[in-house]
Amino acid sequence: MINTHIIETCKKGDKRSYALIYKSAAPYVYSIVRRYIEDTEYRKDVMQETFAKVFLNIKSFDDQKGPFKGWIRKVAVNECLLHLRSKSNGVLFVEYAAEKIEEIKDDSKLPTDLSRQEIESILDKMPNGYRLVFMLAVLDDYSHKEISKTLNITTETSRSQLVRSKRWLRNFLNSQHKRDMYGLL
Amino acid sequence: MDYFNSNFKDRLEDDTQGLPEGFAWEDMKDGIEEKMIAGRKAKRNRWWPLLLLLLITGCGGWMVASYFEKDIQVVNSANDKVYTPEIVEALSAETAEDKSIDNVEAIGKTETGTIVNTPEKESNINNTPKPLSQLPVDKPSNNTATNIKQQDGNSESSIEQKTNVEANLIQTSNKKIVEQKTSETNQKPKVIVATKDIFETRNKVSELTLLSKPISLLSNEFDYPVLSIGALSKKTIPPAKAQLSMAILGGANVWRNNLESIQNEDHLSGVLGWSVRPEVSLRKHKWQFTFAYQYDQLQEEFAYEGSTTVLEEREDVVVGNVVNSLTGASTPILKDTTINVTYIQRELKYNDYEVHHLDFSVGRILVEQRKHTLLLNAGLGLTLSFQGNGKRLNNLNLVDEFELRSAVNPAQLLSISSSLQYSYSINDRFSILTRVQFRQFLNSIALSSTDSMRPTVYGLNLGLQHRF
């Protein structure tokens, strides 16, 4: 993605390297921002905030501790959550009493050839309460403990929401598959 | 591998779309630069809680140190024991001269005389503790007595002199020291009140609590320093669950008594003591309920004053005047003689008190910003035990210890307390605390029904808090 030389020059304050980093990382960051921020008007603002923080704090990045891609993803996700929180009066997730739901892991009939556009379209249709936990847990590698802290919910709620979101996805994909197969609406 | 990992996550990772129109570097760089400038400002503003901590610590330290410094000054003066023979000598010579003129003139005209010294020594130790206000100050030296006995012819003239000189000058100087001390200690301590502006930033700053959560995840995972955050004007969401924590604090304290009868020159009020305080707190939203046990070691200081009169031999003491009846001129009679000298001795003694409290208080979080929290606390305290030991001078000028049981109310005292606390989170579990504390006793600690002694205690504490 970005070689260490550019990162080192950026750490030294070379503004030319800002452009190089942006051009290399912006598509990846945008794909993250797009997932979280539905309103296209705010995506630009969140992108700018993300890169401003990347450049301001790049000195704290240590490639021994992890790849730059993972670091910039965290910054981008954090920025998206901040934005969502500010737009939702601080409440990202309304917690209900967590109930234990067992996960059914029969994924044999689910499609394996989904394109990026299809995935993003499915995620857009997913209920908000499921989508956020699903994206954090599956797509952005947050642990349940991290999710519970981020969304201010219990880890049990995070787990149950993830199971629900996967169940919803399975149902959706199955019904989609049936529609594709039998031409049903 | 999980279906969603391989078909959702990996697919999105591998296939990132291009940037839409308006997201090119040329379109974005100005906005990024503006946000970087704002971020730098926010980073700078992040330091104000530390400045506030320094202010609180500094004010508390100054408060304690100001008491401590005054005590040191007086202790030093007391340790000098006020033995100043030069002053005594000068004073005695001056006094003897004044008195001897009158005496000689009253007796008659004498040309010469032989003075016979009568060695006499007596020591009078009076060490009963009493306030300086009860001692004579600048009173005339009426104990001076000069007797001149004249014998016939070439007879030798015998003058027995017995001079008692009170070292009024010493006493006066001591008085001044104590008066100065008393006037200083009588000043009410200044209460530092946080300004409105500081608290008005609360809403803005509180948003940073939320902001810190994802950021802290970042720093946990990669151990990066926290990222700068722009100030947003949103309200924070308090923790949904009640959070239990435990803390241990310790620090210095001083106290003042309100009883006017002991706020005279001999009572020098509180000196530096110490306290230790384990406590358990339950936090719900912005409120914190605290139950604590507190042990206080309080000290107070008294200036005990004793006088000692000794007979000392002095050279060339003016023992009388000889007046020429023809010319009227007077000639002083100088002799080596023995005079009584009274020394005033001051000693500072401490009374120690051991106090055990149980406190219940309610706190309100005023500011919460990432790792920094400012908490205002108020509560009620029940004093389980208030015991003390005193020290005083005995007749041999030695220190005696005695129990204050007979004078101090041993238990069941009520007090109100308030505190301002700043805490800094070291990590998810631990915080360091600094707290300025104030306690006002509601009942009298004195057993006497006539004396109402309701002391005020000020403390500066540092501590460590663990959140469960």
Query: Per-residue pLDDT tens for A57-87?
Result: 888 888 788 888 889 999 999 999 888 888 7
In a domain, B20, yes or no: no
Residues B158 and B206 in one domain: no
Q: How far is CA B288 from the centre of its chain?
A: 30
| Side-chain-side CA neighbours of residue B436 (13 Å) | 22
pLDDT of residue B414: 87
**Model's pTM, two decimal places?**
0.42
Question: Cβ neighbours of residue B102 under 8 Å, at least 6 residues apart?
Answer: none
Residue B213 has pLDDT above 60, yes or no: no
Structural domain of B149: 95-170+310-340
Residue B92 has pLDDT above 60, yes or no: no
Determine if residue B120 is left, alpha or beta; phi over 0 gives left, psi from -120 to 50 gives alpha, anything else beta: beta
Q: How far is B468 from chain A (nearest CA, A)?
A: 15
- Distance separating alpha carbons of residues B317 and B97, to the nearest angstrom: 9
DSSP at B424: E
Query: Which of A45-49, B87-91, B164-168 is the least confident region?
Result: B164-168
Do B376 and B420 touch, CB atoms closer than 8 A? yes
Residues A69 and A132 in one domain: no
Search chain B and give the residue with CA nearest A56: B36
pLDDT of residue B123: 36
Q: What angle do CA B61, B62, B64 make, to 5 degrees?
A: 65
CATH number at residue A146: 1.10.10.10
Whether A62 sits inside 8 A of B224 (CB atoms) is yes
A154-174 per-position pLDDT tens digit: 888 888 888 888 888 888 887
In a domain, B25, yes or no: no
Residue B47 has pLDDT above 60, yes or no: yes
B53-67 per-position pLDDT tens digit: 777 767 766 666 665
Whether A30 sits inside 8 A of B17 (CB atoms) is yes
Do B375 and B359 touch, CB atoms closer than 8 A? no
By residue count, chain B amounts to 468
B242-255 per-position pLDDT tens digit: 788 999 999 998 88
Q: What angle do CA A53, A55, A58 make, to 5 degrees?
A: 95
Quick one: pLDDT band at residue B128, thresholds 50, 70, 90? very low
pLDDT of residue A85: 81
Q: How far is CA B148 from the centre of its chain?
A: 56
Give B447 or A10, the one with higher predicted confidence.
Answer: A10
Which of B6, B207, B221 best tests the A interface by mutation, with the highest count of A CBs <10 A? Answer: B221
Which of B25, B44, B236, B285 best tests the A interface by mutation, with the highest count of A CBs <10 A? Answer: B25
Helical pair B85-107 and B168-185, crossing angle rounded to 10 deg: 130
Residues B155 and B190 in one domain: no
Whether B7 sits inside 8 A of A60 (CB atoms) is no
CATH number at residue B238: 2.40.160.20
In a domain, B9, yes or no: no
Residues B293 and B241 in one domain: yes
Give B327 or B274, the one with higher predicted confidence.
Answer: B274
Pick from B28, B220, B236: which is nearest to A90 by CB? B236
Domain end marker among B340, B358, B385: B340
Nearest CA to B437 among B300, B270, B263, B296? Answer: B296
By residue count, chain A amounts to 185
Residues B234 and B316 in one domain: no
Do A154 and A88 touch, CB atoms closer than 8 A? no
- Distance separating alpha carbons of residues A142 and A130, to the nearest angstrom: 14
Residues A131 and A82 in one domain: no
- A134 CB neighbours in chain B (<8 A) are 4
Window 226-255 of B, Cβ < 8 Å to A: 227-230, 232, 234-237, 239-241
Window 182-211 of B, Cβ < 8 Å to A: 207, 210-211
CB atoms within 10 A of CB B55: 15
- Residue at token pair 């990772």: B13
Consecutive sets of 10 residues in chain A, 185 residues long: mean pLDDT of each?
79 84 89 86 90 89 84 91 77 57 67 79 83 88 85 83 86 73 51
Number of domains in chain A: 2
Residue B264 has pLDDT above 60, yes or no: no
Structural domain of A160: 116-182
B337-392 per-position pLDDT tens digit: 787 777 766 666 667 778 888 999 999 988 887 788 899 999 999 888 777 776 65
Window 40-69 of B, Cβ < 8 Å to A: 40, 43
Whether A90 sits inside 8 A of B210 (CB atoms) is yes
Q: What is the mean pLDDT of residues B144-155?
A: 38
Residues A75 and A8 in one domain: yes
Give the three-state DSSP class for B180.
helix
Residues B294 and B352 in one domain: yes
In a domain, B147, yes or no: yes
Does A90 contact chain B (CB < 8 Å)? yes
In a domain, B28, yes or no: no
- B8 CB neighbours in chain A (<8 A) are 114, 119, 138-139
- B46 CB neighbours in chain A (<8 A) are none
Give the three-state DSSP class for A98.
coil
Whether B35 sits inside 8 A of A52 (CB atoms) is yes
Q: How far is B19 from chain A (nearest CA, A)?
A: 6
Q: What angle do CA B63, B412, B275 make, to 5 degrees?
A: 30
Whether B237 sits inside 8 A of A28 (CB atoms) is no
Percent of chain B with pLDDT over 70: 47
Search chain B and give the residue with CA nearest A112: B7
Reported ipTM: 0.79
Residues A8 and A76 in one domain: yes
Q: How far is A184 from chain B (nearest CA, A)?
A: 24
pLDDT of residue B93: 52
Give the three-state DSSP class for B155.
coil
Number of domains in chain B: 2
Question: Cβ neighbours of residue A13 under 8 Å, at least 6 residues apart?
Answer: none
Secondary structure E strands in B285-428 = 287-323, 330-369, 372-393, 399-403, 413-425
Do B237 and A152 touch, CB atoms closer than 8 A? yes
Residues B197 and B148 in one domain: no
